[in-house]
Amino acid sequence: MGKYDGYLQGLSLAAILILAPLALQTLLTQDETQVVYVAVPVESENQSGNTTETVTENARAPELTRGEVARIATFNIKVFGETKMSKPAVVDVLVDTVLRYDLVAIQEIKDIDQTVPYDFLDAINNKSNTSWAMLLSPRSGMQEDDRSSQEQYAFYYNTSMFEPIGNGTLYNDSENDSFQREPFQARFSLVNQSGGGSEFDLSLITVHTKPASAMEEINAMGEVATEYLLNHPDEEDLVLLGDFNADCTYASEQDLANSALAGGNYTWLVGNDADTTVAQSACAYDRIMTNGDLSGRLTGTWGIDRVFDSSDVSDHYPVWFDIER
């Protein structure tokens, strides 16, 4: 077989040249952590609020009507205090925005008298055809070094769609002091289309991270979620949502890919290319993550509602997702 030696050597060399880069790539990417984003239909309303532009990427969501889903949102209402609550035109926009959903996690409530959340609930009920209620957190920023930036969170919910399980709790951050504003945790059962129990409940944890410490607090959210599930062994469905400041100068894509919430344990509904801010800068600060498909009820549809263009209302747009009723 001597006459084939040159041919065989050439073939071996070609195989090495082809396979070596593939093997090297496998070794380099084997331990690489990735953020798992869900490929879903994305709905984003323009500023007029009259039309909806939909971009679909490998849509897997069933065709469901609005009445067949419960819509959950997160909304940072910029410096939501007595000054903003005293502006009827602004409050009207905020109420109309909240009424687009069935449950809304609100961040950045700043009212030392703590009356604004209740006044806002009254404004919602004055305009709604159904009854709404609220779970309100204590003032966050409980540690001595955090008291200069105390805020409250609230979950506003349509009582014909959701029922609370308990009153919600502020995460106990006294040991590690990982957060400037401790996350707020709450659990809700879903009301079915007939008005009865659906035998499905989910827990939500909302946070407003400190911009300068966004990545540290995002990583700490992984610990919060793990601890919550350990303390609630009967809970299978968890949603993390809020103003994570998870983009632009506060968190890079690589930072997020290496975070405690990456690696496949959580599905991120809002991608890095989203823009959740009213400002000209495009930043995906507001995020929603789930620990799976929420017992098969996650439809895969989410959106950013650009239904106002004034920073007097907020500097963030609400971000939402749907679950099947």
Is 32 or 313 the better-scoring residue by pLDDT? 313
Asked whether residue 48 carries a pLDDT value surpassing 90, the answer given is no
Q: Would you place residue 10 in the very low, low, confident or very high pLDDT band (cuts 50, 70, 90)?
A: low
Asked whether residue 17 carries a pLDDT value surpassing 50, the answer given is no
Per-residue pLDDT, averaged over 281-287, amounts to 96
Scan for tokens 């030392």, then name that residue. 112
Q: How confident is the model at residue 70, as a pLDDT?
A: 97
Is 250 or 10 the better-scoring residue by pLDDT? 250
Same domain, 125 and 233: yes
Are the C-beta atoms of 155 and 169 separated by less than 8 Å? no
Same domain, 144 and 25: no
Same domain, 170 and 61: yes
Q: How confident is the model at residue 32, as a pLDDT?
A: 45
End-to-end CA distance of the chain: 72
Same domain, 1 and 138: no
Q: How confident is the model at residue 80, as a pLDDT?
A: 97
**Amino acid identity of 24?**
L
Supply the range of the domain harboring residue 2: 1-32
Q: Is 84 exposed, middle or buried (0-12, 13-18, 19+ CB in 10 A)?
A: buried
Name the nearest CA neighbour of 322 among 202, 225, 155. Answer: 202
What's the structural domain count of the chain? Answer: 2
DSSP element (H, E) containing 74 = strand 69-80
Residues 6+ apart with CB under 8 A from 241: 72, 74, 105, 204, 205, 206, 286, 287, 288, 289, 319
Report the DSSP pairing between strands 238-243 and 267-268.
unpaired
Is 310 or 32 the better-scoring residue by pLDDT? 310
Same domain, 131 and 193: yes
pLDDT over 90 percentage in the chain:
70
**In whole angstroms, what is the distance from residue 39 CA to residue 58 CA?**
6
Q: Would you place residue 144 in the very low, low, confident or very high pLDDT band (cuts 50, 70, 90)?
A: low
Name the nearest CA neighbour of 169 among 183, 157, 179, 181. Answer: 183
Asked whether residue 44 carries a pLDDT value surpassing 70, the answer given is no
Name the nearest CA neighbour of 111 among 145, 152, 156, 140. Answer: 152
**In whole angstroms, what is the distance from residue 217 CA to residue 181 CA?**
10
Asked whether residue 31 carries a pLDDT value surpassing 60, the answer given is no
Same domain, 178 and 87: yes
Where is average pLDDT lowest: 147-161, 219-233, 249-263, 299-313? 147-161
Q: How confident is the model at residue 63, as a pLDDT?
A: 79
Same domain, 24 and 43: no
Q: How confident is the model at residue 150, as a pLDDT?
A: 79
Same domain, 22 and 107: no
Same domain, 129 and 6: no
Q: How confident is the model at residue 43, as a pLDDT?
A: 55
Same domain, 10 and 47: no
CA dihedral over 117, 121, 124, 126, signed as positive or negative: negative
Q: Would you place residue 198 in the very low, low, confident or very high pLDDT band (cuts 50, 70, 90)?
A: confident
pLDDT tens track for 145-196: 566 667 999 999 999 999 999 999 999 988 889 999 999 999 999 998 888 8
Q: How confident is the model at residue 175, as a pLDDT?
A: 86
Q: What is the CATH number of the domain that holds 152?
A: 3.60.10.10
Scan for tokens 């599930």, then name that residue. 229
Same domain, 127 and 263: yes
Query: pTM for this one?
Result: 0.83
Same domain, 99 and 25: no
Q: How confident is the model at residue 116, as a pLDDT?
A: 97
Beta-bridged to residue 186, according to DSSP, are: 204
